Amino acid sequence: MQDEILKFDLVEKEEVCGPVIKVMGVGGCGCNIIHDMVEAGIAGAELVSVNTDLKSLNSRMAHEKIQIGKKLTKGLGSGSKPEVGEKAAEEDREALEQQLEGTDLLFIAAGLGGGTGSGAGPVIADIARSMNILTVAVVITPFKREMEKSQKKIIVDEALKKLTEKVNNVIVISNDKVIENCENMRCSEAYREANKVLISFVNGLIGMVAKIGVQNIDFEDINTTLRERGKTFIGIGRAGGTDRAQKALASALNNPFIGEVKLAGAKHVLINFIGDIITKELSIVDELRKLTGDKASIKYGVVEDLSLGDEIEIVILVSGITEAIEIEVVNNAIDRFQKMELLAKQLVERDYENVDIPTFERYPN
Ligand SMILES: Nc1nc2c(ncn2[C@@H]2O[C@H](COP(=O)(O)OP(=O)(O)OP(=O)(O)O)[C@@H](O)[C@H]2O)c(=O)[nH]1
Ligand SMILES: [Mg+2]
């Protein structure tokens, strides 16, 4: 098996110290995501592609590649049959186990609705669980149009159910909103837009664990947060200029791809501040506490990154949320702005009644 893995044209990965993070892309969509991550120069994680389809494996970049189900599928894919994807992963269970050896945090990335991602994904989740690896599944659901009058909906539902049983967290991103909002985009471009959303979430989490900061969020914090029961939310916001910390927080909480998030009662909150951070900007942690209530444990990290210039980036991970969150890709700038305003208003009304000059009231109209 090792020889076969080495035959592929592999991209050099960066040496990292600290927790071992892997992103395993499974099936065609998973391999595309890994390829896009390599191309984007994502650092701090090992990027591994897994597929039954040899052509897809060969044509995409990755740090490591594993062809599964060679005997069963002859390298031709699983023909949209999850049972074939499942057997293919079982055929190479040992190679997958070896690849996951020593991993602390695993992301399983896949598009659901085909055979490999939907069938092999849950097997990989099962292996990770048996090895007690902290695992997050980040999955893309197909366009509704694709699911109509086809088996895809059943495949997607079953795969989601299996994954949810086995991993610590599942983040679902829907392809559908892309086509709603970018009707004139080429299909491959629309796919990439959804991939970008997924990658930004994964990258935000990798950054929390892997970037050495002035003040660190450590792996145990992530471990506790991601192992918490209930829903998890990841948000990323960037802003510059006046009140940039508040603006970045508002955009992280009100990500156009996610919609409104209610944090009241959440159990754990981790926030990473990235940029040339000024001490007083950290006070937005107190603002956040007003949203979550007193019971949440809130921890923050600071990573000095002067390359962001005037901008600041905030990555926020919240867990123990009881309310359902659906992540959808909305690629519409007007909508984005309106939602941002909506959240700002909501914050003012709910949480700033007794504060003299509410920060969000200083937002330009
Ligand atoms: N966003 C996005 N979605 C994709 C991409 N590729 C495929 N998809 C979606 O993911 C679903 C599953 O497709 P694949 O990942 O190609 O399927 P597979 O897991 O390789 O399954 P088989 O080819 O049947 O073995 C499709 O129905 C698409 O909706 C991609 O690069 N980006
Ligand atoms: Mg495929």
Where along the chain do its domains lie? 16-209, 224-362
More confident residue, 239 or 17: 239
Closest CA to 271 of 306, 307, 312, 243: 312
Given a cut of 90, whether residue 63 has pLDDT beyond it is yes
Residue 321: pLDDT band with limits 50, 70, 90: confident
Average pLDDT over residues 204-216: 84
Closest CA to 21 of 39, 48, 57, 50: 48
What count of other Cβ atoms lies within 10 Å of the Cβ of residue 266?
27
- When mean pLDDT is compared across 106-115, 254-263, 327-336, the lowest value belongs to 327-336
Residue 104: pLDDT band with limits 50, 70, 90: very high
Residue to probe by mutation, ligand 1, list 29, 163, 172, 196, most atoms within 8 Å of CB: 29
Q: Please report, for residues 124, 307, 348, 357, the alpha-carbon distance to residue 88 in angstroms, rounded to integers and kept in the order given.
A: 11, 44, 53, 60
Give residues with Cβ within 8 angstroms of 97, minimum separation 6. 127, 131
Choose the CATH number for 16-209 among 3.40.50.720, 3.40.50.11900, 3.40.250.10, 3.40.50.1440: 3.40.50.1440
Average pLDDT over residues 350-365: 31
Residue to probe by mutation, ligand 1, list 83, 140, 150, 152, most atoms within 8 Å of CB: 140
Q: What tokens were used for 171? A: 């983040």
Closest CA to 319 of 136, 140, 196, 93: 136
Atom of ligand 1 nearest to the CA of 51: 20
What confidence score (pLDDT) does residue 356 get?
32
Nearest-CA residue for ligand 1 atom 6 is: 29
Strand ranges across the sheet with 297-304: 231-239, 312-321, 268-275, 297-304
Given a cut of 80, whether residue 240 has pLDDT beyond it is yes
- When mean pLDDT is compared across 24-33, 195-204, 263-272, 315-324, the lowest value belongs to 315-324
More confident residue, 215 or 272: 272
- 3-state SS assignment for residue 163: helix
**Domain 224-362: which CATH class?**
alpha beta
Residues with CB under 6 A from ligand 1: 27-29, 32, 52-53, 77-80, 85, 111, 113-117, 140, 142-143, 146, 175, 191, 194-195
Q: Are 34 and 9 in contact (CB under 8 A)?
A: no
Given a cut of 70, whether residue 144 has pLDDT beyond it is yes
